Structure 1
Amino acid sequence: MYAERVSRLTGAVAWTSTPSGSGPGRVLPDGCMDLLWYDGRLLVAGPDTRAHVTEGAQGPWAGVRLYPGTAPALLGVPADALRDRRVDLTDLWPVTRVRRLAARVHAAPDPVTGLEEAALSRAAETEPPDPLLRRIVAALDAGRPVAATADALGIGARALHRRSLAAFGYGPKTLARVLRLQRALALARQGTPLAETAARTGFADQAHLARDVRDLTGLPPGELLRGGRALSDRP
Protein backbone atom coordinates (compact mmCIF):
# COMPACT_ATOMS: atom_id res chain seq x y z
CA MET A 1 0.00 0.00 0.00
CA TYR A 2 1.32 3.40 -1.01
CA ALA A 3 0.19 6.75 0.44
CA GLU A 4 1.49 10.27 0.07
CA ARG A 5 0.77 13.82 1.16
CA VAL A 6 2.12 17.26 0.43
CA SER A 7 5.12 17.94 2.64
CA ARG A 8 5.68 21.05 4.72
CA LEU A 9 8.98 21.35 2.83
CA THR A 10 8.31 23.41 -0.28
CA GLY A 11 7.72 21.28 -3.36
CA ALA A 12 8.32 17.98 -1.56
CA VAL A 13 6.05 14.98 -1.04
CA ALA A 14 6.01 12.83 2.11
CA TRP A 15 5.14 9.19 1.47
CA THR A 16 4.91 5.73 2.97
CA SER A 17 4.88 2.36 1.24
CA THR A 18 4.23 -1.19 2.40
CA PRO A 19 4.31 -3.27 -0.77
CA SER A 20 1.72 -5.99 -1.10
CA GLY A 21 2.66 -9.19 -2.86
CA SER A 22 6.03 -10.80 -3.36
CA GLY A 23 6.90 -9.60 -6.86
CA PRO A 24 9.47 -6.95 -7.69
CA GLY A 25 8.59 -3.29 -7.27
CA ARG A 26 9.26 -0.71 -9.94
CA VAL A 27 10.16 2.89 -9.07
CA LEU A 28 9.75 5.06 -12.14
CA PRO A 29 12.10 7.93 -13.04
CA ASP A 30 10.60 11.30 -12.14
CA GLY A 31 13.51 13.76 -11.89
CA CYS A 32 13.39 13.70 -8.08
CA MET A 33 15.63 12.46 -5.28
CA ASP A 34 14.36 10.94 -2.02
CA LEU A 35 15.43 10.81 1.59
CA LEU A 36 14.43 7.30 2.74
CA TRP A 37 13.86 5.38 5.96
CA TYR A 38 13.88 1.59 5.81
CA ASP A 39 14.50 -0.98 8.53
CA GLY A 40 16.05 1.62 10.83
CA ARG A 41 18.40 2.96 8.14
CA LEU A 42 18.59 6.35 6.47
CA LEU A 43 19.23 6.21 2.74
CA VAL A 44 19.22 8.49 -0.28
CA ALA A 45 17.73 7.59 -3.64
CA GLY A 46 19.47 9.40 -6.46
CA PRO A 47 17.82 10.52 -9.71
CA ASP A 48 16.91 7.61 -11.95
CA THR A 49 17.43 7.39 -15.70
CA ARG A 50 15.54 4.07 -15.85
CA ALA A 51 13.05 2.31 -13.61
CA HIS A 52 14.62 1.07 -10.38
CA VAL A 53 13.46 -2.49 -9.75
CA THR A 54 13.32 -3.51 -6.09
CA GLU A 55 13.74 -7.12 -4.99
CA GLY A 56 12.82 -8.52 -1.60
CA ALA A 57 12.57 -5.23 0.35
CA GLN A 58 8.97 -5.48 1.44
CA GLY A 59 8.87 -2.49 3.75
CA PRO A 60 7.48 -0.55 5.38
CA TRP A 61 9.27 2.36 3.74
CA ALA A 62 9.00 6.07 4.48
CA GLY A 63 10.36 8.86 2.35
CA VAL A 64 10.45 12.52 1.48
CA ARG A 65 10.56 13.05 -2.27
CA LEU A 66 12.40 16.29 -2.94
CA TYR A 67 11.44 18.58 -5.81
CA PRO A 68 13.84 18.30 -8.78
CA GLY A 69 17.01 20.30 -8.15
CA THR A 70 16.54 20.82 -4.41
CA ALA A 71 18.30 17.75 -2.97
CA PRO A 72 21.93 18.70 -3.75
CA ALA A 73 21.73 21.80 -1.55
CA LEU A 74 20.36 19.74 1.35
CA LEU A 75 22.81 16.85 0.95
CA GLY A 76 25.90 18.77 -0.08
CA VAL A 77 26.44 16.39 -3.00
CA PRO A 78 25.89 17.03 -6.73
CA ALA A 79 23.00 15.01 -8.11
CA ASP A 80 25.04 13.33 -10.84
CA ALA A 81 27.20 11.68 -8.16
CA LEU A 82 24.10 9.75 -7.06
CA ARG A 83 22.53 9.05 -10.45
CA ASP A 84 20.84 5.61 -10.55
CA ARG A 85 22.09 4.83 -7.03
CA ARG A 86 20.67 4.09 -3.55
CA VAL A 87 23.21 4.85 -0.84
CA ASP A 88 23.33 4.93 2.94
CA LEU A 89 23.35 8.47 4.28
CA THR A 90 26.55 7.51 6.14
CA ASP A 91 28.26 7.38 2.74
CA LEU A 92 27.60 11.11 2.41
CA TRP A 93 27.65 12.46 5.97
CA PRO A 94 29.68 11.69 9.12
CA VAL A 95 28.43 8.66 11.03
CA THR A 96 27.82 10.61 14.24
CA ARG A 97 25.65 13.11 12.42
CA VAL A 98 23.60 10.37 10.79
CA ARG A 99 23.15 8.63 14.15
CA ARG A 100 21.75 11.83 15.65
CA LEU A 101 19.38 12.16 12.73
CA ALA A 102 18.31 8.51 13.03
CA ALA A 103 17.58 9.02 16.73
CA ARG A 104 15.44 12.00 15.82
CA VAL A 105 13.45 9.92 13.33
CA HIS A 106 13.03 7.16 15.94
CA ALA A 107 11.70 9.68 18.45
CA ALA A 108 9.12 11.14 16.05
CA PRO A 109 5.48 9.98 16.08
CA ASP A 110 6.19 8.10 12.84
CA PRO A 111 9.19 7.79 10.49
CA VAL A 112 7.78 9.96 7.70
CA THR A 113 7.15 12.81 10.13
CA GLY A 114 10.66 12.42 11.49
CA LEU A 115 12.14 12.49 7.99
CA GLU A 116 10.12 15.56 7.11
CA GLU A 117 11.26 17.40 10.25
CA ALA A 118 14.86 16.47 9.52
CA ALA A 119 14.59 17.78 5.97
CA LEU A 120 13.00 21.01 7.19
CA SER A 121 15.75 21.47 9.76
CA ARG A 122 18.45 20.88 7.16
CA ALA A 123 16.78 23.29 4.72
CA ALA A 124 16.86 26.00 7.39
CA GLU A 125 20.64 25.52 7.69
CA THR A 126 21.45 25.71 3.99
CA GLU A 127 21.19 28.26 1.21
CA PRO A 128 18.01 27.85 -0.85
CA PRO A 129 18.38 26.33 -4.32
CA ASP A 130 18.95 28.68 -7.23
CA PRO A 131 15.48 29.93 -8.36
CA LEU A 132 16.64 29.36 -11.93
CA LEU A 133 16.34 25.60 -11.37
CA ARG A 134 12.57 25.79 -10.94
CA ARG A 135 12.34 27.79 -14.14
CA ILE A 136 14.29 25.08 -15.95
CA VAL A 137 11.93 22.39 -14.65
CA ALA A 138 8.85 24.44 -15.49
CA ALA A 139 10.01 25.12 -19.05
CA LEU A 140 10.97 21.52 -19.79
CA ASP A 141 7.83 20.15 -18.11
CA ALA A 142 5.78 22.42 -20.36
CA GLY A 143 7.41 20.77 -23.38
CA ARG A 144 9.68 23.64 -24.34
CA PRO A 145 12.72 22.48 -26.37
CA VAL A 146 16.08 22.49 -24.61
CA ALA A 147 17.60 25.10 -26.93
CA ALA A 148 14.60 27.39 -26.49
CA THR A 149 14.80 26.94 -22.72
CA ALA A 150 18.46 27.93 -22.66
CA ASP A 151 17.75 30.98 -24.84
CA ALA A 152 14.79 32.05 -22.69
CA LEU A 153 16.88 31.80 -19.52
CA GLY A 154 19.84 33.55 -21.12
CA ILE A 155 22.40 31.02 -19.91
CA GLY A 156 23.47 29.16 -23.06
CA ALA A 157 23.19 25.47 -23.88
CA ARG A 158 26.48 24.43 -22.27
CA ALA A 159 25.75 26.29 -19.04
CA LEU A 160 22.28 24.74 -18.94
CA HIS A 161 23.80 21.29 -19.33
CA ARG A 162 26.35 21.87 -16.52
CA ARG A 163 23.71 23.20 -14.15
CA SER A 164 21.38 20.35 -14.98
CA LEU A 165 23.98 17.68 -14.25
CA ALA A 166 24.73 19.09 -10.80
CA ALA A 167 21.11 19.87 -9.90
CA PHE A 168 19.10 17.08 -11.53
CA GLY A 169 21.68 14.35 -12.11
CA TYR A 170 21.47 14.38 -15.89
CA GLY A 171 21.35 16.78 -18.80
CA PRO A 172 18.27 18.78 -19.78
CA LYS A 173 17.36 16.44 -22.65
CA THR A 174 17.12 13.47 -20.29
CA LEU A 175 15.21 15.53 -17.72
CA ALA A 176 12.77 16.65 -20.43
CA ARG A 177 12.30 13.02 -21.49
CA VAL A 178 11.61 11.89 -17.92
CA LEU A 179 9.13 14.71 -17.31
CA ARG A 180 7.37 13.94 -20.60
CA LEU A 181 7.05 10.30 -19.54
CA GLN A 182 5.37 11.35 -16.31
CA ARG A 183 2.96 13.68 -18.15
CA ALA A 184 2.05 10.88 -20.53
CA LEU A 185 1.48 8.33 -17.76
CA ALA A 186 -0.70 10.78 -15.84
CA LEU A 187 -2.93 11.24 -18.89
CA ALA A 188 -3.05 7.55 -19.73
CA ARG A 189 -4.01 6.64 -16.16
CA GLN A 190 -6.97 8.99 -16.49
CA GLY A 191 -8.21 6.87 -19.40
CA THR A 192 -6.91 8.98 -22.29
CA PRO A 193 -6.22 6.74 -25.32
CA LEU A 194 -2.53 6.24 -26.02
CA ALA A 195 -2.65 7.87 -29.46
CA GLU A 196 -4.21 11.00 -27.97
CA THR A 197 -1.82 10.87 -25.01
CA ALA A 198 1.13 10.80 -27.40
CA ALA A 199 -0.17 13.79 -29.37
CA ARG A 200 -0.89 15.85 -26.25
CA THR A 201 2.47 15.21 -24.56
CA GLY A 202 4.85 15.89 -27.43
CA PHE A 203 5.57 12.45 -28.86
CA ALA A 204 5.75 12.01 -32.63
CA ASP A 205 3.14 9.25 -32.50
CA GLN A 206 1.92 6.35 -30.38
CA ALA A 207 4.84 4.15 -31.45
CA HIS A 208 7.27 6.80 -30.21
CA LEU A 209 5.44 6.89 -26.87
CA ALA A 210 5.56 3.09 -26.59
CA ARG A 211 9.32 3.01 -27.27
CA ASP A 212 10.03 5.67 -24.68
CA VAL A 213 7.86 4.01 -22.04
CA ARG A 214 9.56 0.66 -22.58
CA ASP A 215 13.02 2.23 -22.56
CA LEU A 216 12.47 4.26 -19.38
CA THR A 217 10.32 1.82 -17.39
CA GLY A 218 11.26 -1.62 -18.74
CA LEU A 219 7.64 -2.43 -19.59
CA PRO A 220 5.33 -1.74 -22.54
CA PRO A 221 2.61 0.85 -21.83
CA GLY A 222 -0.24 -1.64 -21.55
CA GLU A 223 1.51 -3.83 -19.01
CA LEU A 224 2.73 -0.85 -17.01
CA LEU A 225 -0.74 0.68 -16.85
CA ARG A 226 -2.33 -2.64 -15.87
CA GLY A 227 -0.21 -2.77 -12.75
CA GLY A 228 3.54 -3.28 -13.01
CA ARG A 229 3.81 -2.39 -9.31
CA ALA A 230 5.23 1.12 -8.96
CA LEU A 231 6.32 2.01 -5.44
CA SER A 232 6.61 5.70 -6.22
CA ASP A 233 5.42 7.84 -9.08
CA ARG A 234 5.40 11.58 -9.27
CA PRO A 235 2.01 12.83 -8.00
Structure 2
Amino acid sequence: MYRERASMLPHVIAWRSEVEPGDAPTRVLPDGCLDIIWASGRVFVAGPDTTAQAPGRAPVGTRLFALRFGSGTGPGVLGLPASELTDRQVPLDQLWPAPDARRLAESAEPLAALEAVAAARWREPDRAMVALAEAVRAGVTVGAFAERAGLSARHLQRRSNAAFGYGPKTLHRILRLQRAVALARGGAPFARVAADAGYADQAHLSREVRALVGVPLSSYLAHANNST
Protein backbone atom coordinates (compact mmCIF):
# COMPACT_ATOMS: atom_id res chain seq x y z
CA MET A 1 0.00 0.00 0.00
CA TYR A 2 1.45 3.32 -1.08
CA ARG A 3 0.02 6.76 -0.40
CA GLU A 4 1.33 10.27 -0.93
CA ARG A 5 0.25 13.85 -0.36
CA ALA A 6 1.67 17.31 -0.79
CA SER A 7 3.83 18.34 2.14
CA MET A 8 3.49 21.67 3.89
CA LEU A 9 6.89 22.46 2.32
CA PRO A 10 7.02 23.63 -1.31
CA HIS A 11 8.06 21.09 -3.95
CA VAL A 12 8.04 18.30 -1.33
CA ILE A 13 5.88 15.15 -1.31
CA ALA A 14 5.15 13.24 1.90
CA TRP A 15 4.64 9.53 1.27
CA ARG A 16 4.11 6.33 3.19
CA SER A 17 4.14 2.68 2.28
CA GLU A 18 3.55 -0.65 3.97
CA VAL A 19 4.48 -4.01 2.48
CA GLU A 20 1.42 -6.26 2.30
CA PRO A 21 1.12 -9.96 1.44
CA GLY A 22 1.48 -10.47 -2.29
CA ASP A 23 3.30 -7.20 -2.90
CA ALA A 24 6.09 -7.51 -5.43
CA PRO A 25 9.01 -5.06 -5.57
CA THR A 26 8.90 -2.69 -8.52
CA ARG A 27 11.64 -0.69 -10.16
CA VAL A 28 11.91 2.82 -8.75
CA LEU A 29 12.38 5.27 -11.60
CA PRO A 30 14.85 8.16 -11.37
CA ASP A 31 12.96 11.41 -10.84
CA GLY A 32 15.43 14.20 -10.09
CA CYS A 33 14.57 14.03 -6.38
CA LEU A 34 16.12 12.86 -3.14
CA ASP A 35 14.26 11.33 -0.20
CA ILE A 36 14.67 11.14 3.56
CA ILE A 37 13.17 7.78 4.51
CA TRP A 38 12.14 6.27 7.86
CA ALA A 39 12.11 2.49 7.42
CA SER A 40 10.95 0.51 10.46
CA GLY A 41 13.02 2.60 12.86
CA ARG A 42 15.98 3.26 10.55
CA VAL A 43 16.42 6.62 8.82
CA PHE A 44 18.45 7.10 5.66
CA VAL A 45 18.76 9.38 2.66
CA ALA A 46 18.13 8.02 -0.82
CA GLY A 47 20.08 10.27 -3.14
CA PRO A 48 19.10 11.18 -6.69
CA ASP A 49 19.32 8.14 -8.97
CA THR A 50 20.60 8.20 -12.52
CA THR A 51 18.91 4.89 -13.43
CA ALA A 52 16.00 2.86 -12.08
CA GLN A 53 16.58 0.92 -8.88
CA ALA A 54 15.26 -2.60 -8.33
CA PRO A 55 14.84 -2.99 -4.55
CA GLY A 56 14.78 -6.42 -2.96
CA ARG A 57 11.65 -7.94 -1.47
CA ALA A 58 11.01 -6.38 1.95
CA PRO A 59 9.35 -8.39 4.74
CA VAL A 60 5.56 -8.14 5.03
CA GLY A 61 4.69 -5.38 7.46
CA THR A 62 7.70 -3.20 6.68
CA ARG A 63 6.63 0.42 7.02
CA LEU A 64 8.18 3.39 5.22
CA PHE A 65 7.54 7.08 5.85
CA ALA A 66 9.38 9.65 3.77
CA LEU A 67 9.72 13.09 2.30
CA ARG A 68 10.60 13.39 -1.39
CA PHE A 69 12.36 16.66 -2.17
CA GLY A 70 11.83 17.91 -5.72
CA SER A 71 13.10 20.93 -7.67
CA GLY A 72 16.43 20.98 -5.87
CA THR A 73 14.99 21.57 -2.39
CA GLY A 74 16.72 18.68 -0.61
CA PRO A 75 20.32 19.93 -0.44
CA GLY A 76 19.38 22.95 1.67
CA VAL A 77 17.69 20.74 4.26
CA LEU A 78 20.49 18.18 4.34
CA GLY A 79 23.27 20.74 4.28
CA LEU A 80 25.29 19.33 1.39
CA PRO A 81 25.19 19.27 -2.42
CA ALA A 82 23.01 16.61 -4.04
CA SER A 83 26.03 15.49 -6.07
CA GLU A 84 27.51 13.96 -2.90
CA LEU A 85 24.52 11.61 -2.72
CA THR A 86 24.02 10.63 -6.36
CA ASP A 87 23.17 6.92 -6.69
CA ARG A 88 23.76 6.41 -2.96
CA GLN A 89 21.76 5.51 0.14
CA VAL A 90 23.34 6.98 3.27
CA PRO A 91 22.29 6.55 6.93
CA LEU A 92 21.14 9.91 8.24
CA ASP A 93 23.47 9.71 11.25
CA GLN A 94 26.39 9.94 8.81
CA LEU A 95 25.12 13.34 7.64
CA TRP A 96 23.55 14.84 10.77
CA PRO A 97 24.52 14.69 14.44
CA ALA A 98 23.70 11.22 15.78
CA PRO A 99 21.26 12.52 18.47
CA ASP A 100 19.18 14.32 15.81
CA ALA A 101 19.02 11.22 13.62
CA ARG A 102 18.20 9.03 16.62
CA ARG A 103 15.26 11.23 17.65
CA LEU A 104 13.80 10.81 14.18
CA ALA A 105 14.38 7.06 14.22
CA GLU A 106 12.62 6.71 17.59
CA SER A 107 9.65 8.94 16.75
CA ALA A 108 6.18 7.44 17.17
CA GLU A 109 4.92 9.72 14.35
CA PRO A 110 7.67 9.47 11.73
CA LEU A 111 6.08 11.54 8.98
CA ALA A 112 5.18 14.42 11.29
CA ALA A 113 8.68 14.29 12.76
CA LEU A 114 10.29 14.35 9.31
CA GLU A 115 8.24 17.36 8.26
CA ALA A 116 9.01 19.23 11.48
CA VAL A 117 12.75 18.65 11.14
CA ALA A 118 12.74 19.56 7.45
CA ALA A 119 10.81 22.77 8.19
CA ALA A 120 13.30 23.72 10.90
CA ARG A 121 16.24 23.14 8.54
CA TRP A 122 14.57 24.62 5.46
CA ARG A 123 16.64 26.84 3.21
CA GLU A 124 15.23 28.53 0.14
CA PRO A 125 16.36 26.57 -2.92
CA ASP A 126 18.23 27.99 -5.89
CA ARG A 127 15.43 29.77 -7.75
CA ALA A 128 17.09 29.24 -11.09
CA MET A 129 17.17 25.50 -10.47
CA VAL A 130 13.50 25.44 -9.46
CA ALA A 131 12.82 27.23 -12.75
CA LEU A 132 15.02 24.74 -14.61
CA ALA A 133 13.01 21.78 -13.32
CA GLU A 134 9.74 23.48 -14.25
CA ALA A 135 11.01 24.39 -17.71
CA VAL A 136 12.32 20.91 -18.47
CA ARG A 137 9.04 19.34 -17.33
CA ALA A 138 7.29 21.66 -19.79
CA GLY A 139 9.52 20.45 -22.62
CA VAL A 140 11.89 23.43 -22.82
CA THR A 141 15.36 22.45 -24.01
CA VAL A 142 18.35 22.97 -21.75
CA GLY A 143 19.93 25.33 -24.27
CA ALA A 144 16.82 27.47 -24.49
CA PHE A 145 16.56 27.65 -20.71
CA ALA A 146 20.22 28.62 -20.30
CA GLU A 147 19.86 31.41 -22.84
CA ARG A 148 16.66 32.68 -21.22
CA ALA A 149 18.19 32.55 -17.73
CA GLY A 150 21.47 34.13 -18.81
CA LEU A 151 23.54 31.22 -17.49
CA SER A 152 26.70 29.89 -19.08
CA ALA A 153 27.00 26.16 -19.68
CA ARG A 154 29.57 25.91 -16.89
CA HIS A 155 27.45 27.76 -14.32
CA LEU A 156 24.34 25.80 -15.25
CA GLN A 157 26.24 22.51 -14.91
CA ARG A 158 27.66 23.44 -11.50
CA ARG A 159 24.36 24.63 -10.06
CA SER A 160 22.44 21.69 -11.48
CA ASN A 161 24.94 19.24 -9.97
CA ALA A 162 24.50 20.88 -6.56
CA ALA A 163 20.70 20.99 -6.76
CA PHE A 164 19.88 17.69 -8.49
CA GLY A 165 22.97 15.51 -8.28
CA TYR A 166 23.65 15.63 -12.01
CA GLY A 167 23.82 18.06 -14.88
CA PRO A 168 20.93 19.61 -16.79
CA LYS A 169 21.12 17.20 -19.73
CA THR A 170 20.77 14.19 -17.44
CA LEU A 171 17.93 15.95 -15.61
CA HIS A 172 16.26 16.53 -18.97
CA ARG A 173 16.51 12.82 -19.86
CA ILE A 174 15.11 11.76 -16.50
CA LEU A 175 12.15 14.15 -16.48
CA ARG A 176 11.39 13.30 -20.11
CA LEU A 177 11.29 9.63 -19.04
CA GLN A 178 8.87 10.49 -16.24
CA ARG A 179 6.63 12.27 -18.74
CA ALA A 180 6.76 9.33 -21.15
CA VAL A 181 5.87 6.78 -18.47
CA ALA A 182 2.93 8.90 -17.31
CA LEU A 183 1.61 9.10 -20.87
CA ALA A 184 2.07 5.36 -21.43
CA ARG A 185 0.28 4.55 -18.18
CA GLY A 186 -2.62 6.61 -19.47
CA GLY A 187 -2.94 4.24 -22.42
CA ALA A 188 -1.35 6.33 -25.17
CA PRO A 189 0.24 4.32 -28.02
CA PHE A 190 4.02 4.29 -27.75
CA ALA A 191 4.45 6.24 -31.01
CA ARG A 192 2.26 9.00 -29.56
CA VAL A 193 4.13 8.79 -26.25
CA ALA A 194 7.42 9.33 -28.09
CA ALA A 195 6.12 12.35 -29.97
CA ASP A 196 4.36 13.99 -27.03
CA ALA A 197 7.22 13.41 -24.57
CA GLY A 198 9.79 14.94 -26.91
CA TYR A 199 11.67 11.93 -28.33
CA ALA A 200 12.84 11.89 -31.95
CA ASP A 201 10.80 8.76 -32.64
CA GLN A 202 9.62 5.51 -31.03
CA ALA A 203 13.05 3.90 -31.45
CA HIS A 204 14.61 6.77 -29.51
CA LEU A 205 12.04 6.29 -26.75
CA SER A 206 12.84 2.57 -26.65
CA ARG A 207 16.59 3.17 -26.36
CA GLU A 208 16.19 5.73 -23.60
CA VAL A 209 13.82 3.54 -21.57
CA ARG A 210 16.22 0.60 -21.77
CA ALA A 211 19.14 2.83 -20.77
CA LEU A 212 17.39 4.43 -17.80
CA VAL A 213 15.00 1.69 -16.67
CA GLY A 214 16.82 -1.47 -17.75
CA VAL A 215 13.78 -3.12 -19.36
CA PRO A 216 11.44 -2.29 -22.26
CA LEU A 217 8.61 0.12 -21.51
CA SER A 218 5.99 -2.59 -22.02
CA SER A 219 7.71 -4.84 -19.48
CA TYR A 220 8.00 -2.06 -16.92
CA LEU A 221 4.33 -1.13 -17.28
CA ALA A 222 3.15 -4.75 -17.04
CA HIS A 223 5.13 -5.34 -13.86
CA ALA A 224 4.09 -2.03 -12.31
CA ASN A 225 0.41 -2.70 -13.07
CA ASN A 226 0.62 -6.18 -11.55
CA SER A 227 2.14 -4.69 -8.38
CA THR A 228 -0.60 -2.13 -7.71
TM-score in terms of structure 2 length:
0.92
* Residues 199 and 154 (structure 1), Cα distance of their counterparts in 2 relative to 1, 3 Å cut: same
Q: Per-residue displacement from partner, 1:30-65 (whole Å, max 9, x unpaired)?
A: 000001000201110100000111113342211111
Equivalent AA in structure 1 for residue 185 of structure 2: R
- Distance in 2, Cα, partners of 1:97 & 1:18: 25
Task: Quote the sequence identity (%).
Answer: 50
Residues 1:175 and 2:171 are matched in the alignment = yes
Mapping for residues 1-235 of structure 1, pairs under 5 Å: 1-20=1-20, 21=22, 23-58=24-59, 59-103=62-106, 106-108=107-109, 111-123=110-122, 127-228=123-224
CA contact (8 A) 1:25 1:230 kept: no
CA contact (8 A) 2:126 2:163 kept: no
CA contact (8 A) 2:26 2:223 kept: no
- Distance in 1, Cα, partners of 2:117 & 2:225: 29
Say which SS state the counterpart of residue 27 (structure 2) adopts. Answer: strand
* Residues 122 and 230 (structure 1), Cα distance of their counterparts in 2 relative to 1, 3 Å cut: farther
Equivalent AA in structure 2 for residue 69 of structure 1: G
Q: Per-residue displacement from partner, 1:106-137 (whole Å, max 9, x unpaired)?
A: 143xx2232222222222xxx31121111111
Shift of 1:93: 1.2
- Distance in 2, Cα, partners of 1:132 & 1:83: 20
Equivalent AA in structure 1 for residue 58 of structure 2: A
CA contact (8 A) 1:24 1:229 kept: no
Equivalent AA in structure 2 for residue 54 of structure 1: P
Gaps of 5+ in 2: none
Please provide the CA RMSD for this pair. Answer: 1.8
CA contact (8 A) 1:23 1:55 kept: no
- Distance in 1, Cα, partners of 2:37 & 2:28: 13
Shift of 1:99: 1.8
CA contact (8 A) 1:187 1:197 kept: yes
Q: Per-residue displacement from partner, 1:7-38 (whole Å, max 9, x unpaired)?
A: 11111111111234364432110000001000
- Distance in 2, Cα, partners of 1:94 & 1:118: 13
